[in-house]
Amino acid sequence: GIILELVSKGLKECCRNNITSHYEEKYIDITRLVEASVNSSLDLVLPIRTNVGKELFIAFPFVGLVESPGAVFYNLNRQETRKAVVNMIMASLPAVALLLVWVCVFGVLFWICDIIPQRAILNRSFRVKCGEIWDSVWWSFVTLATVGYGDVVPTRIPGRILCYIWLMFSNVAIACFSATVTSILIAECFNSELTIEGSKIGVVNGSREHSFVLKSAGLPIAYKSITDLLDVLHVNTVDLDGILIDLYTASYHIHDLHTFRIQKIFEDVSTYGVVFRTRMVHIR
């Protein structure tokens, strides 16, 4: 990554290009750093993350290179949006049913007030009357939707008065229905937000994020390295609710994370840098 490139360029600059870098990727426990340095098996260790402004890490010289502003919490549950929409639809069904009832009620009233008086002298069959009621309900529905095709219109004064009442009532009803659906959807989205508490969170073993999840009453699932953690994300059967990694790492691996939703960003300023063995202090 960029840390290794910075260190290589820094060593060449300090040593005037009279140096050849040989490195090996090896993951070690921080607690073994002292032992490894005393045994002179390591010249420098990177990347080490610690608080801003520190010049020593344990008992060894530390040089900060890149600051990280905090950690980012990714939500791995892709089903939450679908679940929220389904819950919104189910919760709004009573309101839809009530609207349909009012449509039928005003449709029948329109049939009584406007259509029956016009055709009272006609000897209509039951089938014809059912067709008239259906036309009246259709008028009520298109009036509710403020479409108004004009295929069915009131011609008598009682029918027109009823039309005015239904127009005003339907406008209020549609506004209330829209507000209800919006509030339900917002409530579902807020309720479906993932929190660290009680959730299975993927972290890098021994990292600051690992400690943060423990302090937040989460269930940390620790991985040896960020590479191992990211590899798990491509497995469909992964048993994780989310992952917590620092922002610097997230930006470097953005191509692996762009399909996941950022749930929250936690501010925790820290520094990535290099720990040197004591005899190498003069390189600084």
State pLDDT tens for residues 248-259: 888 888 888 888
pLDDT of residue 80: 60
pTM of the model: 0.54
pLDDT of residue 283: 46
pLDDT of residue 243: 92
CA dihedral 102, 175, 146, 106 (to 10 degrees): 10
Question: Which segments in the chain show pLDDT lower than 70?
Answer: 1-7, 11, 15-42, 78-84, 120-123, 147-148, 188-192, 236-237, 277-284
Q: What domains appear along the chain, each with residue ranges and CATH number?
A: 1-77+195-283 (3.40.190.10), 81-192 (1.10.287.70)
pLDDT of residue 185: 73
Encode burial over 229-244: b for 16+ CB neighbours within 10 A, e otherwise.
Answer: bbebbeeeeeebbbbb
Of the chain, the end-to-end C-alpha distance in Å amounts to 21
State pLDDT tens for residues 153-169: 888 888 889 988 988 98
CB neighbour class for 116 (10 Å; exposed up to 12, middle 13-18, buried from 19):
middle
Task: Tell me if the bond preceding 154 is cis, omega within 30° of 0.
Answer: no
